[in-house]
Structure 1
């Protein structure tokens, strides 16, 4: 590979710049060649780790009908094979469609440029989830000694965007996987990241997913957490309610077919069963009588 510098914040236009003359060349003027798919390798450092199967099938159907409309960007490896720099999704879909060759543009890049280009392409297409984006930024910093400011310039994002995205990697693995899978939004994740109780943080993330809580609702719960923490002695564990107790209350709601409220925690409290008319009273009474009969059996 030719020894060239980073992208210098020029974004994708820098991919098509002649380093000798510093003249930008439009992609349509670059030579495109047909490369056998059997000679192309996927980039093991590709920031994007997950590909939607249904979306790939749709693209494969389009490629089968019209071909690959945008060429892949490849670099030739020392072993004579080609490495994907940009366009892995198109490559996967083309392979799925049964194509033997794909159009490609061959360029030379340094390892740093390859990593930057892969990250930029996916960020600009919004193909990365927040965790993949954060991991890509972290790799640029760790592998090439870049600062957050330098990463921001190279990928065309603001410094706060880079900082806030990288912070997501501080979350417990259970929560980062929720974000990676799309079960938890980055907004929800950022709302809970300041919580210093790992168990409570994970539980709150699960509640957000299970109960489809809004970011504002999560922010309110986080504020309540820190309000309680400010009380002398800090937030008390006994205030927390176990999953088993919550499930029991939900079972009661289902069985009695009315509102059931829990006031308290695993150690002590009250369970209130609401009734709104005589039918509710009769139904609840009948269920209690059944329980009494079962006790005698």
Structure 2
């Protein structure tokens, strides 16, 4: 179904409407005859923003008609659910609307476009919109990127947010952390760690760059354990012996034909101490 739809989606709402060649006839429709777009990926609307719009509608009315499609019983809202909700809140009985002849597929597309064009869209809501479109229209990431005028890596990067635990998704929804934080947290090994570190990000007002550095340090013990498990027991034994003798970190690595002993020092004073120890051992 999805492959024969063309590329109208990436060009926005006006392009799709103009392709239909329909007249822009504005009608006043009873709010009681309307129902929300069943394909709308957004289900929550900020109450304070709705109240603000409602107050404006009480004074000025609805300045831009909503877009609807005739259904068996009344009309489906295609674009403008926020104006519809605010009008109900304002106590209005009717709302200006333009009736369009649209397919279910076009309704899905338009619902996603409207959602993506919101100024207050957060990264997780954007990711949900891409996932919604892919699921409903059976699109691949490449096809979704092509239809929306985005790059495939951009779509793939946004969709990674869907892999976060719900507790971290909630923090993004609440704007306590950013999408960049969320994607960086995916570098941790467990959901419990992601949640724990996410709260650390909030408590310490950590930037994404600072989080990247922290996660590298956070993961080091586990990476070290993995390396030691692969390392022969006799090398681990000698590493520990040299650490005790030299009082610093020692790393022994061995390949098929050669090996290497790395001794760490953090200052010139420590370097001189280690040299003295090695010379005295001769």
The TM-score with structure 1 as length reference comes to 0.69
Q: Would you say the 8 A contact 1:116–1:155 is kept in 2?
A: no
Residues 208 and 234 from structure 1, CA distance in 2 versus in 1: closer, same or farther, beyond 3 angstroms?
farther
CA RMSD of aligned residues (A): 2.2
Take 2:41 and 2:129, find their aligned partners in 1: how far apart are those partners?
5
Shift of the alpha carbon at 1:166?
0.8
Q: 1:59 to 1:81 in 2, by over 3 A?
A: same
Q: 2:157 pairs with 153, 157, 164, which one?
A: 164
Choose which of 198, 208, 213 in structure 2 pairs with 1:205: 198
Structure 2, unpaired ranges of 5+:
229-282
Match of 1:110 in 2: 103
Instruction: Give the number of the structure whose alpha-carbon radius of gyration is greater.
Output: 2
Secondary structure of the structure 1 residue equivalent to 2:73: coil
- What is the number of residues matched between the two proteins? 224
Q: Which residue of 2 aligns with 1:31?
A: 25
Find the counterpart in structure 2 of residue 133 from structure 1.
126
Specify whether residues 186 and 231 from structure 1 end up closer, same or farther in structure 2 by C-alpha distance, changes over 3 A only. same
Kindly indicate whether the alpha-carbon contact (under 8 Å) linking 1:72 and 1:87 is maintained by their aligned counterparts in 2. yes
More helix by share: 2
1:8, CA displacement in angstroms? 4.9
Work out whether residues 9 and 148 of structure 2, in 8 Å CA contact, stay in contact via their aligned partners in 1. Answer: no
Q: Equivalents in 2 of 1:127, 1:82: separation in Å?
A: 27
CA contact (8 A) 1:33 1:104 kept: yes
The whole-number CA distance in structure 1 between the counterparts of 2:97 and 2:147 is 24
What's the CA shift for 1:221?
1.0
Q: Which structure 1 segments of 5+ residues have no match?
A: 236-297
The 2-side partners of 1:194 and 1:49 are apart by: 30
* 1:126-182 Cα distance to aligned partner (Å, 9 max, x none): 343322222221122122111112212333333222111111001111111221222
- The structure 2 residue matched to 1:194, chosen from 187, 197, 202, is 187
Report the Cα distance in structure 1 between the residues aligned to 2:225 and 2:27, rounded to whole angstroms.
70
Give the superposition deviation at 1:86: 1.1
Structure 1 residue aligned with 2:63: 69
How has the CA–CA distance of structure 1 residues 114 and 135 changed in structure 2, closer, same or farther, with 3 Å as cutoff?
same
Q: Residue 180 of structure 1: which of 173, 177, 185 is its match? A: 173
Contact in 1 for aligned 2:9/2:110 (Cα 8 Å): no
Stretch of structure 1 that moved more, 40-49 or 68-77 = 40-49
- Give the deviation of 1:119 after TM superposition: 1.2
Per-residue deviation, 1:83: 1.1
Instruction: Write out per-residue CA displacement over residues 24-82 of structure 1, whole angstroms, 9 at most, x where no aligned residue.
Output: x7xxx6111111101110124322232221111111111111110111111111x2311
Are the counterparts in 1 of residues 9 and 113 from structure 2 also a CA contact under 8 Å?
no
Match of 1:269 in 2: none
